[in-house]
Amino acid sequence: MSPNDFKTGQDAKHWAEDPRVRDEHRERERERERGDTYKFVESIHFCCTIKFTMFRNQYDTDVTTWSPAGRLFQVEYAMEAVKQGSAAIGLRSKTHVVLACVNKANSELSSHQKKIFKVDDHIGVAIAGLTADGRVLSRYMRNECINYSYTYESPLPVGRLVVQLADKAQVCTQRSWKRPYGVGLLVGGLDESGAHLYYNCPSGNYFEYQAFAIGSRSQAAKTYLERKFESFVDSSRENLIKDALFALRETLQGEKLTSSICTISIVGVGEAFHTLDQETVQGLINEFEVVGEEPPADEAAPPEQGAGTEAALAPAAPAAAAADEGAPADQGVAPMDI
């Protein structure tokens, strides 16, 4: 240590001017680079020696690395995460947008994850994939809506919100210290230009749809929607919900559709975004006879399972009983269900 080391203020030179310090600095930088290169080489060596059929290539370690074919594998892997989540479906008419999702709890003891979030009175979002990422993005969307309303005293147009969301997702595809969001969002909302349904990918792309489904086994729902989507534009509110329930049933592959495993939300002209409660949903399921593949059972045939198997034939009254079955198990859910 020399007296020079203690000098501050006007006496101290900038480190670049002091030759001794500058050389030391350069030496340190070089060491660091060498270290990185070494690590990179090491990883390649590792990848080459261990051959996995699933392990596509050595261009997927970083989101900021292009593959020779011009793909960003990390982003594509993020899209895979969306496909692993449970199904979410959206449909729209000229005046309403319905979001529906399958809400299966991990075990009988736990509550189910919240997959549909109210963003504002006129916008709601359904997610599939990493729910935590979805929750964070919903919070962002809510803040954006509140700030826009505060400044402009009017609701944020849906198209603007999805662009902001897409830009936010894009940032994560171009920073080496970040990872893409692992969640797909179906954003449904109403604004001056009508009802809209958008799908936001982890890649930062967004598309507008008449109807769409994401998540596991969504292809079955998409097939159903493709058949019927042309009728959605002028559909009534009830028919739209009915189609959502039918599409949802398609993703269950034979499993019984009850209100305890699904969530339906709707937003429309004169109707703020809200989630339909369990009893209403069960009532609608019964009304539309969306139960499942069960053949019409006789009154005499006793129900095999505990839950309301009689639903297919009975009108609203037993719906309450069926809903009660689900209700006690779920009563504890609501306060946690944030």
Partner 1 sequence: MTKQQANWSPYDNNGGTCVAIAGSDYCVIASDTRMSTGYSILTRDYSKIIQLADKSVMASSGFQADVRALQKVLSARHLLYQHQHNKQMSCPAMAQLLSNTLYYKRFFPYYSFNVLGGLDHEGKGCVYTYDAVGSYERVGYSSQGSGSTLITPFLDNQLKSPSPLLLPAKDAVTPLSETEAIDLVRTCFVSATERDIYTGDKLEIVVLNASGIRREYMELRKD
Distance CA(107)–CA(115), nearest Å, equals 17
Does 150 participate in binding partner 1 (rule CB under 8 A)? yes
Give, as ranges, the residues between 84 and 123 that touch partner 1 (CB under 8 A). 118
| Nearer Cβ to partner 1 (141/257) | 141
| Nearer Cβ to partner 1 (138/200) | 138
Q: Which listed range, 45-53, 66-74, 143-151, 263-271, lies at the site for partner 1 (CB under 8 A)?
A: 143-151
Burial degree of 2 (CB within 10 A; 0-12, 13-18, 19+)? exposed
Q: Considering only residues 12, 41, 44, 146, which one is a binding residue for partner 1 as defined by CB under 8 A?
A: 146
Does 143 participate in binding partner 1 (rule CB under 8 A)? yes
Does 26 participate in binding partner 1 (rule CB under 8 A)? no
Does 337 participate in binding partner 1 (rule CB under 8 A)? yes
Does 142 participate in binding partner 1 (rule CB under 8 A)? yes
Q: Which listed range, 81-89, 171-179, 193-201, 330-338, lies at the site for partner 1 (CB under 8 A)?
A: 330-338
CB 210 within 8 A of CB 197: yes
Distance CA(176)–CA(89), nearest Å, equals 33
| Nearer Cβ to partner 1 (279/337) | 337
Q: Which listed range, 43-51, 136-144, 268-276, 309-317, lies at the site for partner 1 (CB under 8 A)?
A: 136-144
Does 56 participate in binding partner 1 (rule CB under 8 A)? no
Q: Which listed range, 82-90, 138-146, 159-167, 215-223, lies at the site for partner 1 (CB under 8 A)?
A: 138-146
Q: Considering only residues 58, 131, 149, 216, which one is a binding residue for partner 1 as defined by CB under 8 A?
A: 149
- Footprint on this chain of partner 1 (rule: CB under 8 A): 118, 139, 142-143, 146-147, 149-150, 335, 337-338
